[in-house]
Amino acid sequence: MPTLYEIYKNSVIDTLKKEKGYTNIHQVPKLTKIVLNVGAGEAIQNVKCLDVIQEYIGAIAGQKPIVRKAKKSIAGFKLREGMPIGVKVTLRRQRMFDFLERLINTTLPRVRDFKGVPTNAFDGAGNYTFGIKEQLVFPEVNYEKIDQVRGMNITIVTTANTDDEARLLLSSMGFPFRKS
């Protein structure tokens, strides 16, 4: 069975060239990176929770995540500039395609009452962001080590100029968009 990267190289690029009428292969939109982000508001009181989050995000992504710090102070949240507040990992090249393949074929079908990802989550520049409410849908996460159910944001960055190009790129790769 061909991998997602092989499908992308062999048929997705040709499909997009024919459908959009591109004359040059460099006009075809490509995936640039995938960013996984977990915000942990409870890290203000308990910094140790970031260690648990780093562990399971590292298992999901296959590489070591970085701790994100607050950019500015917010008195209402008792947050000071420079306090650790979340975890992020950026996937590129082969790890990006491996993660996307696992996401499409294994993880998203495990989401309860899954009807597809929303089609209106594009940002106008060809990037797609959606959230997952619980990390337990990933098979890499060990259920016994989880102290609290947390969600995450997944951002797929493309070189597409419009949302339609990005939607066509992702759907031709097998991304399960919700039927309108």
Rounded to whole angstroms, the Cα distance separating 53 from 46 reads: 12
Contact 45, 93 (CB under 8 A): no
* Whole-number Cα distances in Å, 90 to 2, 17, 18, 68, 122: 24, 28, 31, 12, 19
How far is the C-alpha of 162 from the C-alpha of 149, rounded, in Å? 35
User: Considering only CA atoms, which of 180, 166, 174 is closest in space to residue 115?
Assistant: 180
Q: Which residue has the tokens 């100029």?
A: 161
Tokens 């308990």 correspond to what residue? 46
Q: Is 153 part of a structural domain of the chain?
A: yes
pLDDT 10s digits, 48-95: 767 777 777 788 888 888 787 776 776 676 656 777 778 888 998 888
User: Which pTM does this prediction carry?
Assistant: 0.75
Residue 179 covered by a domain: no
Q: Which residue has the tokens 């996401």?
A: 103
Tokens (6 digits) for 170: 């992702």
∠ CA 79-90-145 to the nearest 5 degrees?
A: 70
Average pLDDT over residues 136-152: 71
- Report yes or no on 132 lying in a domain: yes
Nearest alpha-carbon partner for 43 in 89, 88, 84: 84
**CA–CA separation, 46 vs 96, rounded Å?**
31
Whether residue 94 lies inside any domain: the answer is: yes
Distance CA 160, CA 22 (A): 13
The CA-atom distances, in angstroms, between 7 and each of 19, 20, 154, 174 are 17, 18, 22, 10
Domain tally for the chain? Answer: 1
Is residue 32 scored above 80 in pLDDT? yes
Asked if residue 48 belongs to a domain, the reply is no
* Domain boundaries, position 143: 4-38+89-172
Classify residue 79 by its DSSP letter. Answer: B
24 falls in which pLDDT band (50, 70, 90)? confident
* 138 within a domain of the structure (yes/no): yes
> Cβ atoms within 10 A of the Cβ of 173, count?
20
Residue-level pLDDT at 56: 77
134 part of a folded domain: yes
Confidence of residue 10 (pLDDT cuts 50, 70, 90): low
120-132 tens-digit pLDDT: 878 878 788 888 8
Which among 122, 108, 46, 133 has a CA at the least distance from the CA of 83? 46
Q: CATH code at 118? A: 3.30.1440.10
Mean of pLDDT over the chain: 77
Is position 73 within any domain? no
pLDDT at 17: 77
pLDDT at 138: 74
